[in-house]
Amino acid sequence: MNVDVFPTADDAALAAAKAIAVAAREAVAARGRFVLAVSGGRSPWLMLRALAGENVPWPALHVVQVDERIAPAGDPARNLTHLMETLVAHAPLRADQVHAMPVEDPDLDAAAARYAATLRAIAGTPPVIDLVHLGLGPDGHTASLVPGDPVLAVTDRDVATTAPYQGRRRMTLTFPAIDRARAILWLVTGDDKPAAFAKLRAADPSVPAGRVEQAGASVYADAAAAS
């Protein structure tokens, strides 16, 4: 796992955006498409806004979600709401290039299976996402893979739903779907992250983040998180 530490969270986010743009150009040159999976949380929004201004082969890009809160359309808690505001509103993406997790479906298990089918249609069987962006919680969670949740043990599905966490259930990619990616990009910022960041770097399996495949992974961190 390659780790780069930057003075500020903004610096880390801007560098991550440039790295994604490079990966997009390389993927399109090699395979004719680029499938990008984006996580939620606060840290990626500057990265995505910056990505909108980068040299990206937009017509060949597909954006999928790493995770999503079970909430109504337009809810400020939804990762999709911020994805639309930061990236889609500023980049030449068609509606059919953004694949939202169907968390408004009352049958969440069926919705998760349907999203897994969407991934297969976009990225093959089994789906191989070109780049998965991940964040890191102070408790060591990543995506919506939270300590103690039964979803951590799911190995036969690429998309699953979680128990309530911070008041909401989630839909998330599972470890197999994430680990299968061609590249993983971590964006880790904030002074509440040093303990979790140390466990990530050590591949400590006591936290979900430490269980993610590290070969081919890159970390963009700010000095506060890496201290």
Mean pLDDT by 10 residues, the chain (227 residues): 96 97 98 96 88 97 97 90 92 95 96 98 97 97 96 97 92 98 97 97 98 96 96
Which runs of E-coded beta strand occur in 70-182? Answer: 98-99, 131-134, 159-161, 170-173
93 phi, psi to nearest 5 deg: -105, 135
197 within domain boundaries: yes
In a domain, 37, yes or no: yes
> Minimal CA–CA distance to 68: which of 148, 149, 142, 170?
170
> 79-86 vs 44-51: helix axis angle to the nearest 10?
30
Q: What is the domain count for the chain?
A: 1
What would the two tokens of residue 164 be?
A: 């309530």
* Residue 72 CB-half CA count within 13 A: 2
- The single-letter DSSP state of residue 106 is S
Per-residue burial over 192-203, b if 16 or more Cβ lie within 10 Å, else e, is ebbebbebbbee
- What pLDDT score was predicted for residue 182? 98
pLDDT of residue 42: 76
175 is a domain residue: no
CA 80 from chain centre, in angstroms, equals 12
Beta-carbon contacts of 54 under 8 Å, excluding residues fewer than 6 positions away, are 17, 18, 20, 21
Residue 180 in domain: no
Model pLDDT, residue 138: 96
User: What are the helix (H) ranges across 132-213?
Assistant: 175-179, 194-201
Q: Which pLDDT does position 43 carry in this prediction?
A: 76
Does 182 fall in a domain?
A: no
Residue 195, domain CATH = 3.40.50.1360
Provide the pLDDT for residue 166.
Answer: 87
| Residue 25 lies inside a defined structural domain of this protein | yes
Tell me which amino acid residue 28 is.
Answer: V
Query: pTM for the full model?
Result: 0.96
pLDDT at 74 (0 to 100): 86
Residue 19 domain-assigned? yes
**Within-domain flag for 20:** yes
Q: Please give the residue range of the domain that contains residue 146.
A: 2-170+187-212+220-226
